[in-house]
Structure 1
Amino acid sequence: MSPLLHPAPNGPSRAPLALYVHWPFCVSKCPYCDFNSHVRAAVDQHRWRAALLADLAHEAGRTTGPLSSIFFGGGTPSLMPPATVAALIEAAEQAWGFAPGIEITLEANPSSVEAARFADLAAAGVNRVSLGLQALDDAALAHLGRAHGVAEGLAALDTAQAAFGRVSFDLIYARPGQSAAAWEAELTRALSFGTEHLSLYQLTIEPGTRFATEAAAGRLTLPGEDDAAGLFELTRGVTAAAGLPAYEVSNHARPGAESRHNLTYWRYGDYAGIGPGAHGRRGGLATLRHKKPENWLAAIDRRGDGLESETALSPRERMHEALVMGLRLDAGIDLARVAALGGVAVDEAIDTGAARLLTAEGLIDQHGTHLRATGAGMLVLNAVIAALAR
């Protein structure tokens, strides 16, 4: 097991501090996307840089470093001017300090225009990029509303691998009409590119998206539950055989190459979130920024931060969140830590009767205070969590 996958120490104060920066703008809205992304004819880059720096300063006044990771998400952060990225990284280092080997990730679309910025983004301090390739099939990319084709996407991947020390990319599977053989061939090709990390997501219909409208009208049909489960198991088998086993429901990596930033989320560590719609968890508080870009900017202008709400979480809420997040990891959770968050005894952290039943059904493994979902349990993880949660 990679050292990164050992349970974190008890208590959120010992967890690494991470910073999430949300850039909300995209060139176009993908039909499957329910993220906080917006299309605008123009963006006042000077104003946005100043606003993000102000939001960062607000969070820096309420947390202590050093930072273990920074993640630029979106939206499409590769549309950010590299100078803005550099300014935020510099401000973050001045405010918190950096832990040795800090991971600084930026999500990017694999277009030739954005790939041309990769060298400047690397010079700004980004050392890991996550590319939204999404498919290695031109017809599938067109259906997913992506602006790039396979050739352009792979050219961007080559550019990314030359510019950054660490590279990941996303693929979407369980697409309409996709057979197991076709997905296996596509995944095998993806693994041949030599990246250290893959994020592999099953296509889901999210409320409010264009795909939701098409599905409701009968124009879009996804694989059934049994077929989707088969694709999930196939994905885990192929990636494990290639040396990139699953370490989370949808994420696969060479040992030691896991996303340190996302591990902070899943281990229920503290993180600051800035930018429109960004969530944060710090010191037992849940923070949420205004979602609409214009509302977030207006809040910055009024008082210097983009907060919409800052809510104290009860011990039970923190315990539940830690359970929900931690069981996504193949390594599972330390029930002693979860119980400590809730201020309860270990045997009160979960429904022990449900745990015995789930163990008998082969859906979870429990050894002492360590609990994890099995491969079969990962297929029905939401139901497993619902049964265990008190």
Structure 2
Amino acid sequence: MAYEIYIHVPFCMRRCGYCDFNTYTATDLGGGASRGNYAAMVIKEMKLVRQWQLDHGIDEPAVSTVFFGGGTPTILPAADLIRMLDAIRSIWGIENGAEITTEANPDTVDAEYIKTLADGGFTRISFGMQSAVPHVLRTLDRTHTPANVEAGVRAADHAGLRSSVDLIYGAPGESLDDWRTSVRAAVGLGVNHISAYALTVEPTTKMGRMIAAGRLPKPDDDDEAAKYEIADDLFSEAGLQWYEVSNWARPGYESRHNLGYWRNVDWAGLGPGAHSHYASPDALRSWDIAHPRLWGTAIAEGRVPWQGSEHISPEEDLEETIMLGLRLREGLDLKRVESKLGHEMDRSQLNTLSHDGLIVLDGDRVIPTRRGRLLNDALIGDFFDLCDL
């Protein structure tokens, strides 16, 4: 049984025009939630969450993965990230060989910072690369340069950390050749893991408002599909296999933390807006108060800082199992689905999905094809229909 910790760091130097994450640029947000005091507040939350778990009969095993996300975790001193990691070790324990990752803005780290992380127990760093093309980076409001990314990856290599880079495709004004340039640049870094996400435009963001006003072109579905295929081809040629719809890795370098999410393991989310998931004794999801000041006030009052929680019904659990399984190269386990359904499926009905080129069947597993990945929402909907969901 795996148990994971996610720590959300809500601070950024500036807000990117496409971002709608729960992030803030102020150094002090009140209620004890400041950059300088953040590690101490998260450690207090850890203790509250651990006590809540024990009070509810949940005795988690040693932590198998830790992931610091944001925001920009590396806006904090490396020593603060290590303090939080050490607190996890003392409160829950960390299993031998655990995967310990932080996201990093290439602008906020140097070789000394990265070595400090490695010496403090981190094993992996994920750089927000987004693009290797200057005009695309400007459109995304990113301030780093491709040289910053390469310097970070080389420093990580030297310190013995695994590296990953994140790319975004579909930015307004990005041509197919621009995207090929970015993919080839990412491959050229020699990293063993790359994530590539289609740009999602939220109406409340600066970019969303510019698109609504006609000042930027709206992302095009066909363009994004073509870019996905370019990425899949070039990554595959370089020896990086897809293992989740938006993630590619050399065998053995997959993100164990993210695989935990897709396999629906237990995890505790710490920090403003972070989500948690518990499979037993009652399936439950919860989410922290989003605003750091109110989150900090709850912690200061000795309360687990949840905004809310809900029990996951058996039908919702089955839906999540299907949705997550159909995103993975390892595929959806039909026996697991049938166990949750309470009866065997008429597997002949899957022939339609196979005939349409959306899936392949490998024993008891349903594996999405590339077409199935591109049309993932439709594939999931069709599978729901087969299960009468």
Aligned residue in 2 for 1:5? none
Q: 1:346 to 1:125 in 2, by over 3 A?
A: farther
Residue pairs, 1:125-164, within 5 angstroms: 125-164=121-160
State yes or no: 1:29 paired with 2:15: yes
Letter in 2 for 1:272: A
Q: 1:48, CA displacement in angstroms?
A: 2.1
1:347, distance to aligned residue in structure 2 (A)? 1.8
Which stretch shifts more, 257-266 or 48-57? 48-57
In structure 2, how many angstroms separate the alpha carbons of the residues matched to 1:346 and 1:35? Answer: 41
Instruction: Determine helix, strand or coil for the equivalent of 2:14.
Output: coil
Deviation at 1:320, TM superposition (A): 1.1
Q: What is the aligned-residue RMSD (CA, Å)?
A: 2.0
Quick check: 1:251 aligned with 2:247?
yes
Query: In the TM superposition, what whole-angstrom CA distance separates every residue of 1:3-50 from its partner, at most 9, and x where no partner exists?
Result: xxxxxxxxxxx3x11110111111111111121111114463453222
Distance between the aligned counterparts of 1:330 and 1:211, measured in 2? 33
Aligned to 2:375: 380
Q: What's the % identity of the aligned pairs?
A: 37
CA contact (8 A) 1:112 1:152 kept: no
Contact 1:34-1:207 at 8 Å conserved across structures:
no
Aligned to 1:322: 321
**In 2: Cα distance, 1:116 partner to 1:330 partner:** 37
Deviation at 1:164, TM superposition (A): 4.0
Following superposition of structure 1 onto structure 2, how do residues 169-184 of structure 1 map, counting pairs within 5 Å?
Answer: 169-184=165-180
CA distance in 1, matches of 2:237, 2:39: 44
Does structure 1 conserve the Cα–Cα contact (< 8 Å) formed by 2:75 and 2:108? no
Task: Check the 8 A contact 2:74/2:105 in 1, yes or no.
Answer: yes
Whether the 8 Å contact between 2:127 and 2:166 is mirrored in structure 1 is yes
Matches of 1:151 and 1:255, distance apart in 2 = 27
Partner of 1:231: 227
Q: Partner of 1:119 in structure 2?
A: 115
Structure 2 distance, partners of 1:326, 1:370, is: 9
2:203 maps to 207
Q: Which AA in structure 2 matches 1:377? A: G
Write out per-residue CA displacement over residues 360-381 of structure 1, whole angstroms, 9 at most, x where no aligned residue. Answer: 2111223443112111011110
Match of 2:345 in 1: 347
Equivalent in the alignment of 1:335:
334
The worse-fitting range, judged by mean Cα deviation, of 323-332 and 182-191 is 182-191
In structure 1, distance between residues paired with 2:17 and 2:348 = 42
State whether residues 177 and 223 of structure 1, in contact with CA within 8 Å, keep that contact through their aligned partners in structure 2. no
User: Could you give the per-residue CA deviations for residues 86-136 of structure 1, whole angstroms, max 9, x where no partner exists?
Assistant: 222112112222222100000000015566522222222211000001111
- Does residue 49 (structure 1) correspond to residue 39 (structure 2)? The answer is yes
Is 1:165 paired with 2:178? Answer: no
The offset of 1:199, in angstroms, is 0.9
Secondary structure in structure 2 of the residue aligned to 1:309: strand
Instruction: Return the offset for 1:279.
Output: 0.6
List aligned pairs for 1:50-129, cutoff 5 A.
50-61=40-51, 62=53, 63-111=59-107, 116-129=112-125
User: C-alpha distance in 2, partners of 1:257/1:64?
Assistant: 25
Query: For residues 20 and 354 of structure 1, what CA distance do their matches in structure 2 show?
Result: 39
Distance, in Å, in 2 between the alignment partners of 1:36 and 1:338 is 34
Q: Distance in 2 between matches of 1:45 and 1:182?
A: 36
Change (3 A) 1:143 1:100: same
Query: Following the alignment from structure 1 to structure 2, what is the Cα–Cα distance between the partners of residues 84 and 185?
Result: 36
Give the superposition deviation at 1:353. 8.1
8 Å Cα contact 1:104-1:128 kept in structure 2 = yes
What is residue 364 of structure 1 aligned with on the other side?
359
For structure 2, the residue ranges without an aligned partner over 5 or more in a row are 54-58
Residues of 2 paired with 1:73 and 1:185: CA distance? Answer: 27
For residues 124 and 137 of structure 1, the distance between their equivalents in structure 2, rounded to whole angstroms, comes to: 34
Q: Secondary structure at the match of 2:301?
A: helix
Letter aligned with residue 333 of structure 1 = L
Assess, with a 3 A threshold, how the Cα gap between structure 1 residues 46 and 304 changes in structure 2: closer, same or farther. Answer: farther
Decide whether the 8 Å contact of 1:54 with 1:305 is kept in 2. no
Give the SS at the match of 2:242: coil
Query: What SS class does the counterpart of residue 64 from structure 1 fall into?
Result: coil
AA matched with 2:130: Q
1:198-257, Cα deviation, whole Å (9 max, x unpaired)? 111122212321111111111222453222212111111110110011111111100000
2:190 is aligned with 1:187: no
- Distance, in Å, in 2 between the alignment partners of 1:167 and 1:252 is 13
Aligned partner letter, 1:233: E
After TM superposition, give the deviation of residue 77 of structure 1 in Å: 0.4
| TM-score of the two chains, using structure 1 as the length reference | 0.89
- TM-score calculated relative to the size of structure 2: 0.90
C-alpha separation between the residues in 1 aligned to 2:344 and 2:24? 44
Q: Please give the per-residue CA displacement for 1:34-74, whole angstroms capped at 9, x wherever unaligned.
A: 21111114463453222201211233331411211000011
Q: What corresponds to 1:308 in structure 2?
A: 307
